[in-house]
Structure 1
Amino acid sequence: MHTFYLTILVLNTQIFGDEYVDNFEDIVWQRYSLRDEKESLNLSKTFFPPLKNYEVNATQVSEDVYPWIARVIHSRHTDKPHVCTAACVKEEIFVTAARCIATLHITYTRVIYKDHRIFSKAFIVPSNGSKQGYDDVGFIVVHKRYYMGVWNTIDIYPLNRTDTAYEWFRNSSFNDTHKVVGYTIKKGFHRIRNPQSDFFLTELEVFIDITLCNEVYTFNNLMGDFNVPCYHSCTLDDYRHDEPRCSMYHGVEGGAVFNTKTNILLGVATWGAFYSKYELPVGLSVVNSASFYEDYACAMKIQDDSRVEVENGFYQSLCNGH
């Protein structure tokens, strides 16, 4: 089994916190505090780093195979820079990792979906965020007038959470084949921070487990518990025996993790550490938390509103029920 040291960097920019201040009127950003997980999870010594959006030995795939997949860009006029991956779950509504959209400007953010460039209407993030966003799904609602075709969507995981310590996840069966799909760059090139870099849609078969991150990231109990959902290209037993399959990797913000048999979206990739010598598990947020459903309801309210021009704070009040 590999041994590694995780270097923790202090970020200069706080991704999650108080109300986002923006000059534009059509953005939703809810004020929230961190979830109280003291009674359920011990996260005091954990750190959830952002993903680097790269792959190792993943398979390039056509967008026609996954017509519900999309990518987020931050430009009004060009297809670059690429920011993250998103999945269409309902007409005009996309899900991604919340930390992906945390620093974006709404008027510069477009979603490329089925080769159409669609301007964003609103962002929604959890009203009760998790530590470093490890369990936070973000929503992007787009303007309908920029795409008048058929909306291909993916269904979301149908079972609710029954506790806050992932016992429901531990007791669930994820033996069916799962894949992660998203826009990636090859490992090594991700270190060249070029906004003009090309990203390609790739997929990788993965294994879902609650023990993967906890065993790999705790490093002989020198770090905190990571009892959270994760995936990797191999099983934990394979990892312990250094099986070749474990050298494969796919970790992008918003990467869609889905069941290949049912075509159900289990979750989106949200965090993972980088190590140059070998590959580590990736954390995902399962799309069934209370905050997910709350924000999904908010997204549908915004989707249903047909007003072209709205006053500052209108969407926020719409979701708050005012």
Structure 2
Amino acid sequence: MYTESNGAVLDFGSLDNYQVNAVPTSESKYPWIARVIHSRSSYVPHMCTAACIDEAIFVTAARCIFNLKVNYTRVLYNSKFYDTLAFVVPSVPTKQAYDDIGFIVVRGKNTKSWQVINLFNGANRTDGAYQWFAKLDMSYGPMKYKVVGYAMRKWINKIRVPERHYDLSELDVVVNLEICNKILAKKKAKILFRVPCYHSCTAEEFEKNNAKCNRYHGVEGGALIDTISNKLVGIATWGINYDKYEVPVGFSVVNSENFFKDYRCAKLIRDDKGSLDVKGYYQSLCDD
């Protein structure tokens, strides 16, 4: 939790990688989806979801990779394991990583076919208060949202063992700038959340205890897509968990200057043909 200069209190918690009443789906429907595994010899432990956006480049929540070691991390993508070459963490991090996307560069760039999801390009950020996001429907046109990722069932997330089972699932969601603020600010006094979020129902439906609001999908690195354009809009990065009800999930939109700066860094690492043995070499490729 931290306090802004204007007195606003913000609290961006970690996602517990679970779903409630989400719809099972398959990798054949979403061939760009991937799992991040912290082992070079096993399918466990599963750490988070990732999305392939370019040859040998994946994006996920930065929080996921902060605790990983490159030498132990693999990406399971299209039924094949890829060893990690490098992580690219945010060059300009945000408080509690609520707006932070990390990149995973894997070995195997010469693979013949990479199934990727294109990035949303309907609007660039024009301010730090998300006014551009509030006007997105007017500037870009209608959008329909869905979140996709690997999740376990609720309550299983309380069992702290590496063998917990994660399945790929999806959920239709509502996205806007006020849904977190209207729902979470009432649950946590004096805390403001006017940032992009998604939920299975609107704030008005939540107030009326609509059954739709009992559905939930909150996983680190979960991919938020626009099903009309079939483009990646954002990556799930934070959430607050309650035992008795489900609340919105926060995400980072893949369109900031910092995001594209880090993306360029990931491509420089992928395309480099230099030495792999010098400490700090990859970092030097991305230094301004």
The verdict on a shared fold, with TM-score over 0.5 as the criterion, is: yes
**Aligned residue number for residue 263 of structure 2:** 296
**Aligned residue number for residue 13 of structure 2:** 49
- Which runs of structure 2 are paired with 1:1-322 in the superposition (5 Å)? 38=5, 44-144=8-108, 148-158=111-121, 159-173=123-137, 175-219=142-186, 222-307=189-274, 309-321=276-288
Contact 1:253 1:269 in 2 (8 A): yes
Bigger shift: residues 305-314 or 53-62: 305-314
Structure-1 separation of matches of 2:130 and 2:26: 34
CA-based RMSD: 1.9
Contact 1:206 1:231 in 2 (8 A): yes
Normalising by the residue count of structure 1, what TM-score does the alignment of the two structures yield?
Answer: 0.85
Q: Given the superposition, is the C-alpha separation of residues 43 and 273 from structure 1 closer, same or farther in structure 2, using an over 3 Å criterion?
A: farther
Contact 1:109 1:120 in 2 (8 A): yes
Residue 161 of structure 1 and its aligned partner are, at CA, apart by 0.2
Contact 2:275 2:281 in 1 (8 A): no
Residue segments in structure 1 that go unaligned for 5+ positions in a row = 1-7, 9-33
Deviation per residue, 1:124-175 (Å, 9 max, x gap): 1111111110000000000116x72410001111121000110001111174
Q: Which amino acid aligns with 1:153?
A: V
Deviation per residue, 1:244-263 (Å, 9 max, x gap): 00000000000000001111
Q: Which amino acid aligns with 1:148?
A: T
Residue 308 of structure 1 and its aligned partner are, at CA, apart by 6.0
Structure-1 separation of matches of 2:24 and 2:89: 30
Aligned length: 284
Q: Which amino acid aligns with 2:152?
A: I
Contact 2:197 2:249 in 1 (8 A): yes
Regions of 4+ moved over 3 Å: none
Deviation per residue, 1:258-307 (Å, 9 max, x gap): 00111110000000011010100000000111210110010010011134
Q: Which amino acid aligns with 1:199?
A: Y
Percent sequence identity is 48
Structure-2 separation of matches of 1:198 and 1:175: 36
Q: Which amino acid aligns with 1:261?
A: I
Contact 2:175 2:198 in 1 (8 A): yes
SS in structure 1 of the partner of residue 66 of structure 2: coil
Residue 221 of structure 1 and its aligned partner are, at CA, apart by 7.6
Residue segments in structure 2 that go unaligned for 5+ positions in a row = none
Contact 2:8 2:190 in 1 (8 A): no
